[in-house]
Amino acid sequence: MKQSLVIPVLVVALASFLFIPAPGAYSQENEADANVVRRETAFEKSSAQTARKARQAAAPELKAVSFEDILARPDDVALNFRFAKQQVAKNNLLGAASTLQRILLVNPSLDQIRLFYMAVLFRLDNMTEANRQIGILESRELSGSVKAELKKFKDEIAKRKRRTHASLRQSVGWGFDTNRNASPSSKKRLFANVALPVSPASGAKDDTNFLNITTVDMSHDLGFQAGHELVGSFTYFLQEQTEQDTLDLSSFQYDLGAVYKTKWFQVTPLFHASHVFLSREGFLRSQGGSVLVDRGFFGNRLRVYNRNRLEHQDFTNITENRVADQRRGNLYTLEQGATVGITPAMSVDGSIAYQHKEAKVDFNAYDRLILDVSHTWVLPKGQFVLNGLTAAFDEYDEPDVALAGRERHDRTLRYRATYGAPIGTLFFFAKSLIPGMVQDITATFTYEYYRAYSNYTNYTYHNNKIQVMLTKKWGF
């Protein structure tokens, strides 16, 4: 390991020791983009419809309701309902459930509000009480709209109770890069310590591409009270270039493992395998495993995690790269991070990671330090904004003497911003004309800036990327 990386590596190791999960509540693994894209589920749509109908049964909102107002008028149904809506908006579901319960004690015949109460119980995962409310509603003469909403909730509760769950997520899109072939900014390339001009044919080339991502996720509850699960996923990725056919990419990735839950922490061991194709030729096969340990604090508003991953990368020589096998070797990753919920609609994730890459030829082996921070902001009506900044520092083991007589040092910076929203939200002015099965498709718009610096001018370049994606999810 290089002397210049000794201190950063010690920092990572020390951070890993300090943040080893300790007793307390546990939380689910954060999946930034994926979780946001999945927001528009059938249950959420039903909850929104129920809330709208319940609002119609209550007095119009004039101003924020304080707890002092509730103490002064505890039997005012309309006032209490306004207060419950405020609590739901602030993600205080326990408080909202208590408020709605008080309303129903005063007037048990408010079926729309009872339906809204059941929606809150569902979000709290209190299926016993939610089913009790269903029984109360089913014993009454209900309007057609309430019956339809009730049936939706019953279907969702039945789905939640199933031990085996599966989902299909399909994304298609379009992308544009200003420098798809990573041509050097200096317009020069080193060869035998001499900087030679880049030929016009090898200059920066912009290009568009078609994108496809197909993901199947599965989970099976093992029947333990703690909720241990078996989990698995399959992902197919395709990026088909318009002009730069030699840079066409596709891959298959498989993940299989389990989730072990305790009241102190959660452990997720996974087996990973993937096969990457470059220009339609098998370029890389990798197999390995990872272990994620995470723990939540303060009602999961703070989550700390540690991930260790080891994989073997088997590169194969192809037409476009006759020396790819020189990269063959193991890659080890140690990552330590935390997610902080600033508000119910906003969170920040930060992590530090160390990677050690072994290679058949030492000038392809390196040590890497990665600093990453991202910000997630969930907006009304299923909208969201994601921002991410990643910096990486690479130190290679040996000089690539065919290019230069010095050891290679790389620094990279990546900034990425994404805005997303359901089609029904984007085209609200024509929502009545859009079929229901289309309204919950999520559209995302992404801009990315990538900048690479290196003491080998061959690897100093920048690229701007624009990407538009449409994503639809089905649950089974």
Tell me how far apart the terminal alpha carbons of the chain are, to the nearest angstrom: 48
Provide the mean pLDDT of the chain: 84
* Predicted local confidence at residue 157, as pLDDT: 75
pLDDT score at 229:
94
Q: Do domains 3-30+163-475 and 39-161 have the same CATH topology?
A: no
Residue range 286-307: average pLDDT?
Answer: 93
Kindly state the percentage of the chain with pLDDT values over 90. Answer: 57
Inform me whether the pLDDT recorded for 301 exceeds 50. yes
pLDDT at 105 over 60: yes
Residue count (the chain): 476
CB count in 10 Å sphere of residue 475: 15
Residue 299's pLDDT is 76
Output phi, psi for 17, to 5 deg. Answer: -65, -45
On the question of pLDDT at 42 being above 70, the answer is no
pLDDT at 121: 84
Which tokens belong to 136? 């109360």
Q: What percent of the chain has pLDDT over 70?
A: 86
The CATH code belonging to domain 3-30+163-475 is 2.40.160.40
**Cα–Cα nearest to 231, from 280, 186, 167:** 167
Q: Which two tokens stand for residue 98?
A: 């208590």
What average pLDDT does the segment 130-150 reach? Answer: 80
Dihedral (CA of 260, 266, 267, 271) sign = positive
Mean pLDDT along residues 263-275: 96
All structural domains of the chain with their residue ranges: 3-30+163-475, 39-161
Least confident of 154-158, 204-208, 220-224, 390-394: 154-158
pLDDT by residue (tens digit) across 164-210? 989 999 999 999 999 999 999 999 999 999 999 999 888 999 999 99
pLDDT digits (tens, 9 = 90+) for 321-353: 999 999 999 999 999 999 999 987 899 999 999
Evaluate if residue 23 carries a pLDDT over 70: no
Q: What is the mean pLDDT of residues 375-403?
A: 95
pLDDT at 63: 64
Least trusted range by pLDDT, from 49-58, 201-210, 268-277: 49-58
Q: Report the 10 Å Cβ neighbour count for 436.
A: 9
Q: What is the pLDDT of residue 94?
A: 84
Residues 205 and 152: their CA atoms lie apart, in Å, by 51
Helices assigned H by DSSP within 304-415: none
Comparing 110 with 326, the larger pLDDT belongs to: 326
**Domain 39-161 falls in which CATH fold?**
1.25.40
Contact 438, 427 (CB under 8 A): no
| Residue 170 and residue 139 in contact, taking contact as beta carbons nearer than 8 Å | no
Residues 392 and 409: beta-carbon distance below 8 Å: no
**Average of per-residue pLDDT across 257-284:** 95
Q: Distance between CA atoms of 364 and 245, rounded to whole angstroms? A: 25
Q: What are phi and psi of 427, to 5 degrees?
A: -110, 50
